[in-house]
Structure formats: structure tokens, C-alpha cells
Amino acid sequence: MQQTVKLRKFKPDDLQSVIHINRLCLPENYMDFFFMDLHQRFPETFIIAEEDRKIVGYIMCRIEVGLASYGLGGLIRKGHVVSIAVLPQGRRKGVAQALMDIAIKGMVYYKAKLCYLEVRVTNDPGVALYKKLGFEVSRTLKGYYSDGEDAYVMTKKLD
């Protein structure tokens, strides 16, 4: 990633910039309180990328408890990437990869044993990003999105 891009934790003052990027880049949008709730509960996994003090990307996640896969046994904590986006002009510079790396460190800090997310089956940049980071498709959710598109659930074991 370029030296001019800085990653840091989300602060409440960043909310409008993050909402702007979310609406510009993704059809899945949320109310203010949804962003703030994730920030308050999981500050280590809500990260923004800044270039020349302008926010160019974000990642926000949630820690959940669920049944283990990978033979880990019992209930485990899972890091769920709820949303990640980078402004079009900031793409293909490694920003999303850097955001994912920091968020995954936050998930490990919260004792998550695996990381998962849903991604549209036609989202080639997204699927390529996650594959590069070692995620695998674990299943397909038929008609997951409000427009009827299917989602891949992609998962990565954390250590």
C-alpha cells in the first residue's frame, strides 16, 4: 500500500464520510445507529483508510458466537466482515487488503477463531480480494440479497 495512505480506527466524526462511501460503493446501506453500534461494540475492527486526510475506504465488522466448522468443536467466536468499500479512485493500491489485515488482527484480539463474510457471486473484485487473503467459498446462499442475487459465504481460519 502507498505510504500516503494511513489506516486508523474509526472515530464518530468519520461517520458521514463512511456513510458516503458506503452509499456510493454498495447497494447494502445502513442507518447511522448501525455504524455507531458496531463502532461502540467492536472498535478494533472498524477501521478507515485516509489519503491526504480524506477518507477513501472503511471496513466494519462484528464478532458473533456460532457453531464451529473446521473441526474446531463447540461454540466459537467468529469475525464477520459486515461491510468493506474503497472509493473508485483509491482502488487497486492495496487499501482493501490492508483494511482486511488490520480488521483480522482486531478479530484475533477479540479471540475470534475464524473470519467470514458474504459477497455477491458476481462481485469479481471482492471474491478475488478474499481469495488472495486465503478465504474459501464455504457455501452459497440462494437469493440472499434484496434484489435476489446469491451470495457466497467465504471463510478463513484465524490463528
Residues that bind Zn ion (CB under 5 A): 118
Q: Which does 156 bind (CB under 5 to 8 A by kind): Zn ion, ligand ACO, none?
A: none
Q: Which does 95 bind (CB under 5 to 8 A by kind): ligand ACO, Zn ion, none?
A: ligand ACO
Instruction: Give the interface size with ligand ACO as a residue count (CB under 6 A).
Output: 23
Instruction: Give the DSSP letter of residue 12.
Output: G
Position among 54, 132, 139, 157 found at the interface with ligand ACO (CB under 6 A): 132
Which residue, 14 or 118, has its beta carbon nearer to Zn ion?
118
- Rounded Cα distance, 159 and 156, in Å: 10
Q: Which does 123 bind (CB under 5 to 8 A by kind): ligand ACO, Zn ion, none?
A: ligand ACO
Q: How many Cα atoms within 13 Å fall on the side-chain side of residue 136?
A: 7
Taking residue 24's Cβ as centre, other Cβ atoms within 10 Å add up to 10
State the minimum distance, in angstroms, from the CB of residue 74 to ligand ACO: 26
* CB-based contact 36:13 (threshold 8 Å): no
Query: Binding pattern to ligand ACO, positions 63-82, x when CB under 6 A?
Result: ------------------x-
CA 141 to each of CA 18, 72, 82, 124, 135: distance values in angstroms, whole numbers, following the listed order: 27, 23, 16, 17, 16
State the minimum distance, in angstroms, from the CB of residue 52 to ligand ACO: 16
Query: Which helix (H) or strand (E) segment is 107 a member of?
Result: helix 95-109
